[in-house]
Structure 1
Amino acid sequence: MKKKPFLIDALTGNSKTLVSYNKKGQMERLFWPRIDSFQQLEEINIGVYLPKARRTTYFHEDGWEHSQRYEEETNILINEIRHAHLPVTVTQFSYVLPDRDVIVHDYIFNGDTEVLEGALLMVDAAFNLEHQSRYQSVYFSRESQTHVHYLNKTAVAIGSGNGVDGFESGRNEIGARRNDLNGKEEVNKQGGAISFHLNGAGEGQAVSVHFAMSSAPKEAERLCRETLADKQETLYEQTAAHWQNHLALAEKQEIEDPLRKKLYDRSLLTFALLYDKENGSFIAGPEVDEDYVYSGGYGYCWGRDAAYIATAADVAGYHDMVKAFYQSMLEIQEPNGSWNQRHFTDGSLAPVWGLQIDEPGSILWGLSGHLLRTENEAFAHKAWPQLKRGAEFLLSFIDEETKLPLPSKDLWEKRSGEHQYSAAAVYGGLSGVVKVARWLGISEEDFVTRCEEACREMKEAVLTRGWSEEEQCFLRSLYLEVDELAYLRAKESGEEVAFREDKNGFTSYYKVEDPTVDISLLGLSVPFGMIDPHDPKMVKTAEKIREQLTSPVIGGIERFPGDIYIEGNPWMLTTLWLAQYYQAVDRHEEADELIDWVGRFTPELGLIPEQVDKFSGEPAWVMPLTWSHAMYVLALKESK
């Protein structure tokens, strides 16, 4: 299989189909029938065969120069392509139809008439349908004039409204390069090539190629011919209108700064691309690390990320989208009231590596906020039994000694312990459920009282046992789990340690205090509201964060000292988190500096990455990260 890049440059889609592109307009990944699965693409090379040159030159190859942008207020990608040595320019428009699973590439050629005489558009394609390179078949349909790749319940038909010049079923890269396609109609192998005539003569020659996805070959053929029968201008206009209407559904937000407005709108458009409309789930980002080389993957729905994303979408005005998300979360709640770490968008369990108690807390916090924000009493009454069940689970997961949540993974999925951020999320969930109960007039005083008492005790524990007088900062965690060797070394050095033995005789070892400064400590105040942002202890913690986590070369805020993930860079969401804290304490000038820093290091297309390189400022990992976009929207909502 072809090695895929970890960084992509652009996205198009329709909430069911998701396509990622590199900066040269080449498709890198194609997800269908859901935005998280399957990744169907091995490689697609598209270029122009020039008879006078007697060869095909692909648009992603050396010799072509590219500029890339989105059509304003849409998810339509435009690549302006110019050859460095040949008098040829090409404009490529890439988009997915909003109502049908068809990827459209429109090409307009301009240049020297003699050079373009007899030119063909060459499409050399190989798919890994249903994540497989084996058992694939390809055929050319003379009836529909499409090239069809299929396996099991997945089929892709490639066609154009222009005439077909040649085709070959089965990969023949040399034949495609020379336009020497042998006309083989059917083969049980991967890949194939097809070439199309350009429409017109001289300046403005055009060709449109459609890639239609369906669950059966004949249906893919039919869908391809159906969309090709429509006027290409109409399809383009309908797609543009769909995205413009999406933005029009948002609550009006006055943003004077052009860059901020651009990133705000791009965030709302990105929410739609990374949202499975059929199943109501948000994914953390387009998948770029399928083999878990550097991470556990990103094309999944986490309750942690999604609670922030849904809150941002909610305050932006997309209440129906957010309601559908929480309905999907209620459907996959575990019988004991908890939620697993992450899921596929259809609700099935994804690979996990441990309970994160902050996630059920975050889901309850976000759902409660949505219900109170929209005042949807019918949905609130329907959701109440599961809200209560979730709160009961949180109450059962509290350490009687510390009054903090029992050990679980932290929000960065790195460490097990009794984390202060986790306590804040649990507090946010419990207090949110209490507010919903009061609003609905639910007379379950014993339950409400237990929630309120747990919140009070948890807050007191954070302010007392969770505070380090020596460091003048909140501790990151209590009872940080370590291996036995680290336990013994800590004990020898005089640190407070502990061990616990479970009912099966297994021993866990702990450092009792973890004083590491971590951006997540802001969660005590923003967004979960456990600690008043003006509380002196919170103010001192925020200052420690600014002092210790500001990246020294380019600025921005890192997660914690010694972070080695992708070499430890400033993250966009962490920088925006501090901005939101500064907004909460009326330090708006400092907040604006951080917001503008994010804008300065976001690439031209407006897709906000997870993190940027600490020296160059270039995107360093997953782009876009939906959580980053959510934090940008939330920051701009509070900007003054």
Structure 2
Amino acid sequence: MTTRSVAHLPAGVIGNGSLLATLSRRGEIERLFWPHVDRGQHLGELRLGVVAGERTRWLDEEPFIHTQSYVDDAVILRTRAVDAELDVELVDLVLAERPVLARIVRPRKAGCRLVVYCRPELHESSRYGAAEALSGGRLVFYNNDVALALGVVRQARAVCGSTRGGEGSDVFATACTGRPEGEDIASGAVDGVLVCDLPEEAVLLAAFGRSREHALAELDSMLPVRGDALVRARATHDRERLGSAAPPEAADVGVAPLYRRSLLTFDVVADRDTGGVIAAPEMDREFERSGGYGFVWARDLAFCTLAFLASDREDLARRALRWLRAAQGRQGFWSQRHWTNGAVAPSWCRHQMDETGAALFVFEASFRELADEALDQELWPAAKRAARFLAAFTDPRTGLPGATHDLWEESEAEHAYTAAAVGAGLSAAAAMAERHEPAEAERFSLAGEEIRAAVERELWLEERGHYGRAFTTGANGDREAIDTGVDASLLGLAWPFAVAAPHSPRMRSTVAAIEEKLLRPHGGLARYEGDTYAGGNAWILTTLWLGLWYRQVGDEEGLARCVAFAQSHQTELGLLPEQVADDGRPAWVVPLTWSHAMLVLAVRPELTLIRERTRSHEAASAVQQA
């Protein structure tokens, strides 16, 4: 066992919606999730070394200098490791339809040997492991119903071993000499090594299965395949996926590569079996610096589904909508966050009702785009339960939705953004009711209108010239005071929910306050005044949110500035982070799915429901002026 420390932030991600891998800037596989993208992180270490002379040179260590890029528009990552003696190219990919990771190793220098060291943590644990070194140079590790088989597409030698009592690994120690020694079978905290000649190319395959036999069968079926064939197959698959999506319509054609990378990222983080989409590949499983990101939030999923609809990714949209239907709680609302299988995940608040409002909104948005009556019928029972709950979840003193946590998950109050999502969600439910149970429509429509009126009556701050963020509540639930802070989520009053007129003097004045208080010198928008989370930086998604409001009011130049900010602050691999530091560096979580969703929404035409809600305000304003 080595003393490897995995960074919080990966450089790249590859996967197929079932098997997900994150990689470091050094080309090291950091995490392997299977068979779902949110849990079952099965890797301790998977390291590659080259024997040149009398010792193993591990490719993820200094003095190697590393460069990385994705291969064209594909979920294939190329890493080049170079020092004074060696020049090695690594090409990493996951097979599109199989639980198999491929690592293609291509040295520029002949006469080397490849060393592969693996220390699994099946079921996220080193306990109860088993390992076997098999004929033909194959390794298989297994623990209950998860097995991982490794092999190289050429003749190899395999050994395995175990570590006990916190002692170091003899297998790893001998692997460092280039002459690994070990056993044919081991148990406990296990590891293993493969070694083979490396004349021009070696292909390492890592295959998962539900049993030792299944994993070995997956491995053996692919071992005859050459690396270039694997690359062509994955590239073809990704090209076809992109070809089925709508192209970007932004004026700046330079954003097209980022748009395509966003679509490919969706395929990596959207769970193929369940339809749940994680906020990001988990990078903080101990919750040391955050609450974790490898979960499904109904809010994030709603925005992602809007992006799926906007980009014609109907397959992802339908699966996401069905995930929402299945994950709904019995009371009618969605919990703070869930696992991809719909089970409630660890949380730190009772509820965030904006999520339930957003789910209703996206149900109706999907009908406007897909016109799928059967799907609409399928979603209606969930929509009715949610709308009935939200219609009753109102503070009679204010007319606003009752106290709940905000979308930033930091405070419980009666929030303006929650009111926007819930009000628009109830209006969406009323439209659905007209198609399914007209007797419910008036009730939901009236509830939505009352919330809209309450926003104008209770949250507009005349002396400050902007909407207030929330009514705070005391320990006994009594209203204490209005929170006058400026928050980027106030943009949600206009886009996408349009409970406030986007063009109105009040909304324009609110946006002016947001720009004054939250815009950073580099052009990014912070979340709110006094934010300290992970540095309190500007966020990609809030900046694009501002851009979407600009477009809503006809300011295409403003939209272009915000899209340009996202484009200029993507990572070197074309992924969008959660935040951007004041010095311009991408900061914190990479990739954040919501960031990519907002980018897609910003460079595709406005969705029908949002466009219609915006126009209804314009029409009402015209009537008033007449």
What range describes the TM-score normalised by the shorter chain of this pair?
Answer: over 0.9
- Aligned CA distance change for structure 1 residues 256 and 470 (closer, same or farther; 3 Å): closer
Query: Any conservation in 2 of the 1:611–1:619 contact (CA below 8 Å)?
Result: yes
Give CA deviations for 1:470-528 in whole Å, capped at 9, x if unaligned: 211100001x1356xxxxxxxxxxxxxxxxxxxxxxx3465320011000000001011
**Partner Cα distance (2:10, 2:596) in 1:** 16
Tell me the CA shift for residue 45 of structure 1: 1.6
Q: How does 1:22-41 map to 2 (within 5 A)?
A: 22-41=24-43
User: Which residue does the alignment assign to 2:61?
Assistant: 61
Indicate whether 1:634 and 2:626 are aligned.
Answer: no
Q: How does 1:417-456 map to 2 (within 5 A)?
A: 417-438=413-434, 440=435, 442=436, 444-445=438-439, 447-456=440-449
* Amino acid in structure 2 at the alignment position of 1:475: G
User: Which residue does the alignment assign to 1:529?
Assistant: 498
Indicate whether 1:212 and 2:207 are aligned.
Answer: yes
* Amino acid in structure 2 at the alignment position of 1:333: Q
User: Which residue does the alignment assign to 1:396?
Assistant: 392
The count of aligned residue pairs is 596
- Aligned CA distance change for structure 1 residues 386 and 537 (closer, same or farther; 3 Å): same
**Partner Cα distance (2:27, 2:251) in 1:** 31
User: Which residue does the alignment assign to 2:622?
Assistant: none
User: Which residue does the alignment assign to 1:571?
Assistant: 539
Q: How does 1:270-419 map to 2 (within 5 A)?
A: 270-353=265-348, 354-419=350-415
Q: How does 1:159-238 map to 2 (within 5 A)?
A: 159-170=151-162, 171=169, 172-198=171-197, 200=199, 205-238=200-233
Indicate whether 1:457 and 2:424 are aligned.
Answer: no
Query: Any conservation in 2 of the 1:580–1:638 contact (CA below 8 Å)?
Result: no
Give CA deviations for 1:243-291 in whole Å, capped at 9, x if unaligned: 1111111023345645300110011001110000111111111101111
Indicate whether 1:130 and 2:123 are aligned.
Answer: yes
**Partner Cα distance (2:252, 2:460) in 1:** 40
Residue 236 of structure 2 aligns to a residue in which SS?
helix
**Partner Cα distance (2:37, 2:601) in 1:** 24
Query: Any conservation in 2 of the 1:361–1:430 contact (CA below 8 Å)?
Result: yes
**Partner Cα distance (1:555, 1:597) in 2:** 7
Tell me the CA shift for residue 189 of structure 1: 3.3
Query: Any conservation in 2 of the 1:283–1:301 contact (CA below 8 Å)?
Result: yes
**Partner Cα distance (2:367, 2:543) in 1:** 29
- Aligned CA distance change for structure 1 residues 255 and 425 (closer, same or farther; 3 Å): closer
Residue 391 of structure 2 aligns to a residue in which SS?
helix
* Amino acid in structure 1 at the alignment position of 2:144: N
Tell me the CA shift for residue 608 of structure 1: 0.1
- Aligned CA distance change for structure 1 residues 61 and 384 (closer, same or farther; 3 Å): same
User: Which residue does the alignment assign to 1:504?
Assistant: none
**Partner Cα distance (2:250, 2:484) in 1:** 40
Q: TM-score when scaled to structure 1? A: 0.90
Query: Any conservation in 2 of the 1:415–1:481 contact (CA below 8 Å)?
Result: no
Tell me the CA shift for residue 368 of structure 1: 1.2
* Amino acid in structure 1 at the alignment position of 2:8: F
**Partner Cα distance (1:564, 1:375) in 2:** 43
User: Which residue does the alignment assign to 2:88?
Assistant: 90
User: Which residue does the alignment assign to 2:617?
Assistant: none
**Partner Cα distance (2:385, 2:474) in 1:** 32
**Partner Cα distance (1:582, 1:428) in 2:** 20
Tell me the CA shift for residue 332 of structure 1: 2.1
Residue 365 of structure 2 aligns to a residue in which SS?
helix
178-187 or 520-529: which moved more? 178-187
- Aligned CA distance change for structure 1 residues 190 and 402 (closer, same or farther; 3 Å): same
**Partner Cα distance (1:221, 1:561) in 2:** 55
Tell me the CA shift for residue 2 of structure 1: 5.4
Identity of aligned residues (%): 33
**Partner Cα distance (1:258, 1:524) in 2:** 30
Aligned-residue CA RMSD (Å): 1.6
**Partner Cα distance (2:386, 2:474) in 1:** 29
User: Which residue does the alignment assign to 1:467?
Assistant: 460
**Partner Cα distance (1:222, 1:452) in 2:** 57
Q: TM-score when scaled to structure 2? A: 0.92
**Partner Cα distance (1:516, 1:456) in 2:** 25
User: Which residue does the alignment assign to 2:548?
Assistant: 580
165-174 or 426-435: which moved more? 165-174
Tell me the CA shift for residue 147 of structure 1: 0.8
Indicate whether 1:543 and 2:539 are aligned.
Answer: no
Indicate whether 1:74 and 2:78 are aligned.
Answer: no
* Amino acid in structure 1 at the alignment position of 2:203: S
Residue 580 of structure 2 aligns to a residue in which SS?
coil
**Partner Cα distance (2:178, 2:91) in 1:** 24
**Partner Cα distance (1:104, 1:309) in 2:** 29
**Partner Cα distance (1:427, 1:577) in 2:** 19
Q: How does 1:232-251 map to 2 (within 5 A)?
A: 232-251=227-246
Query: Any conservation in 1 of the 2:334–2:355 contact (CA below 8 Å)?
Result: yes
**Partner Cα distance (2:425, 2:197) in 1:** 59
Match of 1:625 among 548, 573, 592: 592
User: Which residue does the alignment assign to 1:100?
Assistant: 98
**Partner Cα distance (2:601, 2:411) in 1:** 28
* Amino acid in structure 1 at the alignment position of 2:22: S
Give CA deviations for 1:422-462 in whole Å, capped at 9, x if unaligned: 00000121111222333x3x4523x2111121122111111
Query: Any conservation in 2 of the 1:139–1:186 contact (CA below 8 Å)?
Result: yes
Give CA deviations for 1:96-131 in whole Å, capped at 9, x if unaligned: 0011100000111113xxxx42x2111111111101
**Partner Cα distance (2:390, 2:249) in 1:** 39
- Aligned CA distance change for structure 1 residues 180 and 401 (closer, same or farther; 3 Å): same
585-594 or 467-476: which moved more? 585-594
Query: Any conservation in 2 of the 1:122–1:193 contact (CA below 8 Å)?
Result: no
- Aligned CA distance change for structure 1 residues 259 and 511 (closer, same or farther; 3 Å): farther
Query: Any conservation in 2 of the 1:267–1:629 contact (CA below 8 Å)?
Result: yes
